[in-house]
Amino acid sequence: MKLHNIELVNFRQFKDRQTIDIATDSPRNVSVIYGENGRGKTGIFRALMFCLYGDKCLSQDELSGEQKKEGLNLVNEVALKENVGTSVAAQVAMAFSHQGQTFRIVRSIDALMKTDGAIVQSQGSRVELQQTDVTGNTQPIETDPDKITALIQEILNSRLRDYFLFDGERIERLTRNTKERREEVRQGIRALLDLDAMELAIAGLKSLISQIEKEISHKSTGELQRVTTIIADLNAKIEKLENAQELGSQELKRLVHKIHEISELVSENKETADKEKKRQELLKNSQDLKVERDALKREMAGYLSKGAQLVASELIEQLREELELRRHKGELPPNIRKEFVENLLDSERCICGTSLGHDHQQERECLLEFIKKHYTPGLGPESLDLLLSLSRLSSANTGLADQFNRLLTNNKKLGDEILELESKIKLLSDELQEGGTNIDDLIQERKKLEEDKRKLEREMDRQADDIVRAQNEREDLKKKSIVLEKQQSQVNSLVSRRILAEQTLEELEKIYNRFANAAKEKLAEKSTENFARLADDETKKDIKKISIDENYMLDVLNWSGQRRLGEISAGQRQIVSLSFIMALIQVAGNLEVPLFMDTPFGRLSGIHRDHLLDTIPKMASQWILLATDTEFTEVEAHALRQTNAWGKIYELVKEGEGTTRIVERDVHQFTPKRKSIH
């Protein structure tokens, strides 16, 4: 497909009728659309997508689900304002050639501005396909939108629409090591190389075989019927499990997307995220302090039984001191029992062997004096027991009060700290709530989603095991059924069908695997070749090869074969992405479409820019470069002129509020506004 021109009437910023002729003649196949930000460069690509597919927004438009459904307003707002209350049409016509024939597709959409300024746009659009004959006459050949869609699909499949336009950010994103990017690369490869169609064809053949086997089961008898019934049941089971896996994959994608969205929401507001982080820290500290206080309380509870003793400690001490004083004075009986001393006197012998007889009167007198002094009526032996008990209590009480005081002080300190933390937490929570985003809820939701994801992954692993088991069982039974089928002629016709379907399936699977691997190798090879053309010498010293692994993940290998994508600069990553994009176009082959690149030079150094300007025109059938004044300076203009590939230049000039005029300039004389920013 070769794009000749685009004609816009009241489309977005482009008021009235304006035309862009696209450079088609090789080698002059580069068209530059030059303009400052907001002039409508992307609008040109938007017009193309609307004209071909009726798209009212692009995949990179950051719109909510509802907004995407509604689409953007495509009718020029100035024209609408000049005709309040009257319907105004935006129209895009595109002339292109395909396989030797020239077509023109015209699509329009109506909108109306109400008196209150609200704009209402019609849901659908009108479309007409025209063909230009050899004499140059253009006639309508189709007006049925469905038939036109089918025709356009054959020329330029809408699934590939995202691969005609690469903006600078998307180019850089392709090499980011995230699951989403890997999926984007994978989808790109699958769509451009028809691998997704092959996968569907394979799935269809599997279903066909299942259906035939079911029929065989109905029509067979005896042992064959039994075996085929089991096979049919296994087929149904496998299909059910495979469907569940497919649904699981979709759900998994949804969960990953949702988790990603929430993570973005949580992290996009740094201030909020910092507050939330602080709040989480405080919550943890508060929780730790509460645990500490609980332990303290348990320790304090142990002291409760000693409470009464503590209360009476002063009285106990007074009494003990009084008794001690009286014992010192000898008013308390000694520790030796009176009966013991009396027994010694009766036996007239001390325990040390000394005689206490009448010949030792002095010792006897001494003991008699002892009895007289200490065992006089008054304080009995009970007072001695009391003194001993009081002494024990007094000793136990030593330090108890101090310990209890320490516990009480610590408890109060912890309580105060907890109160202070809770007050800070409340303050932060209030601020987060006022900010309109309840981060806590989001984090909780993400936690739940992550748990759902883990559960789903476990379930899917289990299903995958069940599928393998059922497939093995089915294979064994099939071998048996083949023998039995030969004995039953009435199922022969169905068996022939099944055999052909199975042979086709086997062949397709073989081709698919061979093709997918070869395509990946070819993509890696071409990406590496392109990289060698685009990169400067220093970059080529760092990166020797671009690889695409079994998961369709892009990577770069250094001189020793080590993966180094994470270590290269943003500019180098951009070169890797561009090399891959070009390889996709080269390998897909049938994708002879105009390649739109929106601000692709962003992070590229001078030599990389020169190489890009020199190389891409030789690879792409048509290159439409959408560039800002800071990107396309005198240096780039000079480099592009040197290539001899520069065919057209259009400048987007702001005319007034909401209006841009497309002005064609002469490529030989065009002077960009800026000399160079390098």
The binding site for other proteins (CB under 8 A) comprises: 153, 157-159, 193-194, 196-198, 200-201, 203-205, 207-208, 211, 250, 496-497, 500-501, 503-504, 507-508, 511, 514-515, 518-519, 522, 526, 586-590
- Cβ-based nearer residue to other proteins, 383 or 504: 504
Output the six-digit token pair for 404: 């209890």
CA distance to 35, 186, 324, per residue, from 338 (Å): 123, 107, 20
CB of 99 to other proteins, least distance (A): 15
DSSP state at residue 376: S
528: left (phi over 0), alpha (psi -120 to 50) or beta: alpha
CB of 521 to other proteins, least distance (A): 8
CB of 38 to other proteins, least distance (A): 34
Identify the residue whose tokens are 């409470």: 307
- Cβ-based nearer residue to other proteins, 360 or 497: 497
Identify the residue whose tokens are 């299903």: 463
CB of 546 to other proteins, least distance (A): 16
DSSP line for 515-535? HHHHHHHHHHHHHHHHHHHHS
CB of 589 to other proteins, least distance (A): 3
- Cβ-based nearer residue to other proteins, 198 or 546: 198
- Cβ-based nearer residue to other proteins, 23 or 105: 105
Q: Is the Cβ–Cβ distance between 71 and 64 less than 8 Å?
A: no
| Three-state DSSP state, 109 | strand
- Cβ-based nearer residue to other proteins, 268 or 507: 507
Rg of the chain on CA atoms, in Å: 46
CA-based nearest residue to 512, from 153, 190, 163, 156: 190
Q: How far apart are CA 254 and CA 267, in angstroms?
A: 20
- Cβ-based nearer residue to other proteins, 232 or 568: 232
Burial grade of 304 (CB within 10 A; 0-12, 13-18, 19 or more): exposed
Q: How far apart are CA 543 and CA 532, in angstroms?
A: 9
Q: How far apart are CA 197 and CA 257, in angstroms?
A: 25
- Cβ-based nearer residue to other proteins, 552 or 601: 552
CB of 587 to other proteins, least distance (A): 5
- Cβ-based neighbours of 588, under 8 Å, separated by 6 or more: 192, 193
- Cβ-based nearer residue to other proteins, 153 or 355: 153
- Cβ-based nearer residue to other proteins, 145 or 602: 145
Q: How far apart are CA 77 and CA 84, in angstroms?
A: 10
CB of 203 to other proteins, least distance (A): 5
Burial grade of 314 (CB within 10 A; 0-12, 13-18, 19 or more): exposed
Q: How far apart are CA 174 and CA 488, in angstroms?
A: 57
CB of 501 to other proteins, least distance (A): 7
Query: Phi, psi (5° rounding) for residue 75?
Result: -90, 135
Distant-in-sequence contacts of 521-529, Cβ < 8 A, 24+ apart: 522/583, 522/587, 523/189, 523/548, 523/580, 523/583, 523/584, 523/587, 524/548, 524/583, 526/582, 526/583, 526/586, 526/587, 527/554, 527/576, 527/579, 527/580, 527/582, 527/583, 528/579, 529/583
- Cβ-based nearer residue to other proteins, 482 or 518: 518
- Cβ-based nearer residue to other proteins, 207 or 411: 207
